[in-house]
Chains A and B, each alone.
Chain A
Amino acid sequence: MSNPQDDKPIDQEQEAHVILKVKSQDGDEVLFKNKKSAPLKKLMYVYCDRRGLKLDAFAFIFNGARIGGLETPDELDMEDGDVIDACRAMSGGLRANQRQWSYMLFDHNGL
Chain B
Amino acid sequence: MNHIKVISLVQYSSSVKKLKEEFLRNFKRFDSVEDFSDHHYVSKGKASKQHSKNWVKKVQDEWKILNQNLPETIFVRACESRMDLLRAVIIGAEGTPYHDGLFFFDIQFPDTYPSVPPNVYYHSGGLRINPNLYNCGKVCLSLLGTWHGNARQSWLPKESTMLQVLVSIQALVLNEQPYFNEPGYGLIKGTWLGESKSKVYSENVFLLSLKTMVYSMRKPPQHFEEYVQNHYFVRSHDIVKACNAYKAGAPLGSMVKGGVQDLEQARQSGSKKFKTDVASFMQTVVDEFVKLGVKELAEKPKPPVNNANTENQSKKKTRKRSRSSR
A binding-site residues for B, Cβ under 8 Å: 19, 25-35, 38, 42-43, 46, 49-52, 87-88, 90-93, 96-97, 100
Contact = CB atoms under 8 A, between A and B. Distances in A.
- Tell me which of B263, B266, B302, B318 has the highest count of chain A C-beta atoms within 10 A of its own C-beta: B263
Given A26-B307, A27-B304, A50-B245, A34 B322 contact: no
Contacts of A91: 321
Contacts of B318: 90, 92, 96, 100
Contact of B258 (A31, A35, A49): A31
B301 A29 contact: yes
B321 A25 contact: no
A25 B304 CA distance: 10
A31 B263 contact: no
B307 A30 contact: no
Interface string B293-326: 0000000111110010011001001101111110
Contacts of B259: 31
A93 B323 CA distance: 8
B262 A33 contact: yes
A14 to B, nearest CB: 14
Contacts of A92: 318, 320-325
Contacts of A35: 263-264
Interface string B142-154: 0000000000000
5 contacts: A32-B261, A33-B260, A42-B263, A49-B269, A93-B325
B250 interface: yes
